[in-house]
């Protein structure tokens, strides 16, 4: 190691040219994704987590799954890879599909059976919703409802 500063490692014109082009293309893609695009364009998708506005006098919905088990208990299905094989956000992303066709819930039970062979199995799966009603930006009260259910085969 010498203490004298070494000359800079430079790039050739071509190396600069493609880097400049790549950067311009990347910026164009992410700006386009944000201006006009949607989630489908990941990784160049809009930065839209929490971009929605919650009405201070509206509702806050939280969806989750419950299940009757062959051990005779009713449990909240853990929303992770070890429970439903999907998180709550994934459940909510697929909610309309599941409500229209509750038979899809069979998959949840099958996945649980495969992932947790040692635990009690699901006999009936329910899609539940907790709706918190807001007033002037503060919590007022909460209502719990069942949106769909499926008797596991």
Partner 1 sequence: MSTQTSVPDSPAGPAPQQAAAGGSRLGAAAGAVRRWWFAPVPGSRIAWVRALVYLFVPYDILVITQDVKGTAALPGEFYQPTMLARWLHLPTPTPGIADTLQWVLLIAAPLAATGRFHRSLGFLVAGAFTWWQLINMGYGKVDHDHFALVIAVWVLPTAGRARFRDDTPSEAATWTLRCMQVAAISTYSLAAWAKIRESGWGWASGATLLWAIERRGTPFGKWFLDHPDLLRLSQWVVFFAELCSPAILFLRRWWLAAALVFWLGFHLMTWLLVGIHFLPTVICLTAFVPWEKFRAGLGGLARRSQAAVPAPGR
Which of 65, 67, 77, 86 binds partner 1 (CB under 8 A)? It is 86
* 16 belongs to the binding site for partner 1 (CB under 8 A): yes
Q: Which residues contact 77 (CB under 8 A, 6 or more apart)?
A: 64, 65, 66, 67, 83, 84, 108, 112, 122, 125
The answer to whether 127 touches 105, Cβ cutoff 8 Å, is: yes
* 146 belongs to the binding site for partner 1 (CB under 8 A): no
The answer to whether 35 touches 28, Cβ cutoff 8 Å, is: no
* 144 belongs to the binding site for partner 1 (CB under 8 A): no
Q: Which residues contact 107 (CB under 8 A, 6 or more apart)?
A: none
| For partner 1, the closer CB: 14 or 72 | 14
The answer to whether 104 touches 135, Cβ cutoff 8 Å, is: no
* 114 belongs to the binding site for partner 1 (CB under 8 A): yes
- From the CB of 109, what's the least distance to partner 1, in Å? 12
| For partner 1, the closer CB: 54 or 146 | 54
- From the CB of 125, what's the least distance to partner 1, in Å? 14
Among 136, 129, 130, 128, CA closest to 58: 136
The answer to whether 63 touches 90, Cβ cutoff 8 Å, is: no
Positions that interact with partner 1 (CB under 8 A): 1, 5-11, 13, 15-17, 19-20, 23, 26-27, 30-31, 34-35, 39-56, 58, 60, 62, 80-82, 85-87, 89-90, 92-94, 104, 107, 110-111, 114-115, 132, 134, 136-139
């Amino acid at each position: 190691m010498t203490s004298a500063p070494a000359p800079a490692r430079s790039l050739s014109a071509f190396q600069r040219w493609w880097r400049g082009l790549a950067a311009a293309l990347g910026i164009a893609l992410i700006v386009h994704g944000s201006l006009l695009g949607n989630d489908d364009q990941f990784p160049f998708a809009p930065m839209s987590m929490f971009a929605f506005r919650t009405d201070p006098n509206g509702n806050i919905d939280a969806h989750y799954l419950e299940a009757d088990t062959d051990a005779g208990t009713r449990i909240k299905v853990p929303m992770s890879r070890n429970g439903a094989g999907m998180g709550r956000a994934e459940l909510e992303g697929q909610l309309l599909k599941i409500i229209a066709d509750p038979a899809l819930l069979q998959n949840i039970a099958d996945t649980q059976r495969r992932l947790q062979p040692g635990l009690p199995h699901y006999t009936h799966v329910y899609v539940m919703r907790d709706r918190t009603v807001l007033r002037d930006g503060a919590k007022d009260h909460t209502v719990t409802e069942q949106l769909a259910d499926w008797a596991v085969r």
